[in-house]
Structure 1
Amino acid sequence: MTLALVVVGVLGLAVGSFLNVVIHRVPRGESLLRPTSHCPQCTAPVRPWHNVPVLGWLLLRGRCADCAAPVSARYPLVELGTAVLFVAVTARFGLSASLPAWLYLAAVAVALALIDLDVLRLPNAIVLPSYVVAPLLLLPAVVVERDWAAGLRGLIAMAALWVFYFVLSLVYPGGMGFGDVKLAGVLGLYLGWLGWSSVAVGTFAAFLLGGVVGAVLLATGRAGRRTAVPFGPSMLAGALLALFAAAPITSWYSSLLLPA
């Protein structure tokens, strides 16, 4: 298993490098293939050995090799963060038939969270294909593990969360965008696959985290009551929290309601 985690970690670094391109180009409607990686200041192409995840940034000391313009530390952090998330997901689910689906969720979560923070938008180019990709990646697990109940529960939760968020967007349009509604369906599929307790924990955690972030921004003066605050990162963080900790959180909450 240790070797598998190392391999997945290296894969995460490579995927994180690609996600940096996705995060920068998708909101701008640019191609992911052309042009190749280049400095946004002087447009000089990035040399292959400078494109090595994390190490390339360290080698250049965070600056362009041609014009010495600063390169954001977010690039290696995205690569490292994706690698850590890939390793954590693999440790959680093991080398199972469903692992590719969870790795896909991890990659999409990183990209969508940062894009939403940057431009206050969850691009259809990423969210909508996930309605096809995620079920297809989970299908082998349904067949291999014969867990038809998990597949059905995931589809029901997908529809339920979509409707729930859609109603919220109608009731409170200023606080809920339609991108959040579309993302809710994808997260519902994954959380429903895990169980209804995961759906409950992931959904509640999203609103709790969103409220805490909003309160902190207001208290520190970084946002006003009319400032738009992206909710997508809170939704994704809540789903990931449920993925790793729904069972202990549910047990703890149950113990409060039904003390021994």
Structure 2
Amino acid sequence: MSTGWTVLAAAAAVALAGTVRTWIVAFSVPYGHPPQPVCPNCQNAVIPAGRMGLLGWLPPNGRCRTCGERIGPPPGTVEALLAVAAGALVHTSTVPVAAPVLVFLAAAGVTLAFVDLAARRLPDPFTAAAFAAAAVVILLQMLTGGGWSHGLRAATAAGITGGCYFLLTLIANGGMGDVKLGLTTGLLLGAQSWTAVLIGGLASVLITAVIGSTLRAAGRRKPGDDIAHGPSMLAGVVITLVTLA
């Protein structure tokens, strides 16, 4: 799409940053624990009761509005990644009507990335939301000239990517969150081309390997320690789509 659409998408995504920050705080809890929509320091709600995940808001500095302590990601990081992700997804798309869905997809993806970094998990509500958004985008592409072959390639790629991560789960004790997210990344990359599927998959593995090696060299991880792979999967998609656009 045009530069105008890209800028509008980035701005819309940044406008969602306050809510995305509350999602990250609420879901950055150990696997099996319910979301905690309160500040861990003062226990005041960051997401109002009865409106879980919808209308909470945290400022760009990441500080609790009650006690002033920083909770969640560092200042500006959520806003910057939302702008980049939404801008890149919309810029590489050829379907203007899909722009709002792509902004929402960026919000779900950024949430997943930060939660995975903080708690080594990919919460089901956001993997499901990301998959649904990607499926809607593919459908819109099919209806605006892509045809059934376009959708079939995307669905096949999703099955292959998800299947590969499922095998890794069985062999290397990976997580089912990666499998579910793999369905979404497969859809998005498959909609582009088979080349994108290959490049995106390799890029995500390479990013995780580099990060893991760097952390171990710095003494912040030991061999065998878990490394969050979700952010690399998402980054691989964005990098691949922008590169091949």
Regarding TM over 0.5, the answer is yes
How has the CA–CA distance of structure 1 residues 150 and 83 changed in structure 2, closer, same or farther, with 3 Å as cutoff? same
Larger radius of gyration: 1
Q: For residue 10 of structure 1, what is the aligned residue in structure 2?
A: 11
Residue 22 in structure 1 maps to residue 58 in structure 2? no
Q: For residue 118 of structure 2, what is the aligned residue in structure 1?
A: 118
Kept in 2, the 8 Å contact 1:98–1:138? The answer is no
Deviation at 1:24, TM superposition (A): 1.1
How has the CA–CA distance of structure 1 residues 232 and 194 changed in structure 2, closer, same or farther, with 3 Å as cutoff? same
Q: Residue 185 of structure 1: which of 183, 186, 194 is its match?
A: 183
How has the CA–CA distance of structure 1 residues 203 and 2 changed in structure 2, closer, same or farther, with 3 Å as cutoff? closer
How has the CA–CA distance of structure 1 residues 97 and 197 changed in structure 2, closer, same or farther, with 3 Å as cutoff? farther
For 2:240, the aligned partner's letter is A
TM-score by length of 2: 0.80
Decide which moves more: 123-132 or 72-81.
Answer: 72-81
CA distance in 2, matches of 1:132, 1:8: 19
Q: For residue 54 of structure 2, what is the aligned residue in structure 1?
A: none
Residue 85 in structure 1 maps to residue 90 in structure 2? no
CA distance in 2, matches of 1:69, 1:52: 12
For 1:13, the aligned partner's letter is V
Q: Residue 226 of structure 1: which of 217, 224, 230 is its match?
A: 224
CA distance in 1, matches of 2:71, 2:177: 30
Residue 216 in structure 1 maps to residue 214 in structure 2? yes
Decide which moves more: 194-203 or 206-215.
Answer: 206-215
Q: Residue 233 of structure 2: which of 232, 235, 240 is its match?
A: 235
Deviation at 1:44, TM superposition (A): 6.0
Kept in 2, the 8 Å contact 1:97–1:144? The answer is no
Kept in 2, the 8 Å contact 1:26–1:125? The answer is no
For 2:16, the aligned partner's letter is V
For 2:193, the aligned partner's letter is G
CA distance in 2, matches of 1:45, 1:182: 30
CA distance in 1, matches of 2:118, 2:243: 28
How has the CA–CA distance of structure 1 residues 235 and 70 changed in structure 2, closer, same or farther, with 3 Å as cutoff? closer
Q: Secondary structure at the match of 1:74?
A: coil
For 1:80, the aligned partner's letter is A
Deviation at 1:155, TM superposition (A): 0.4
Once the two structures are superposed, residues 101-129 of structure 1 have per-residue CA deviations (whole angstroms, 9 ceiling, x without a partner) of 43333222211111000100011111134
For 1:178, the aligned partner's letter is M
Structure 1 spans left out of the alignment, 5+ residues = 248-260
Q: Which residues of 2 match residues 64-103 of structure 1 at below 5 A?
A: 67-70=67-70, 74-93=74-93, 96-103=96-103
Q: For residue 51 of structure 2, what is the aligned residue in structure 1?
A: none
Q: Which residues of 2 match residues 100-249 of structure 1 at below 5 A?
A: 100-173=100-173, 176-246=174-244
How has the CA–CA distance of structure 1 residues 181 and 95 changed in structure 2, closer, same or farther, with 3 Å as cutoff? closer
Q: Size of the alignment, in residue pairs?
A: 230
Structure 2 spans left out of the alignment, 5+ residues = 47-56
CA distance in 1, matches of 2:188, 2:136: 12
Kept in 1, the 8 Å contact 2:22–2:58? The answer is no
Q: Secondary structure at the match of 1:105?
A: helix
How has the CA–CA distance of structure 1 residues 134 and 181 changed in structure 2, closer, same or farther, with 3 Å as cutoff? same
Kept in 1, the 8 Å contact 2:44–2:66? The answer is yes
For 1:25, the aligned partner's letter is A
How has the CA–CA distance of structure 1 residues 145 and 40 changed in structure 2, closer, same or farther, with 3 Å as cutoff? same
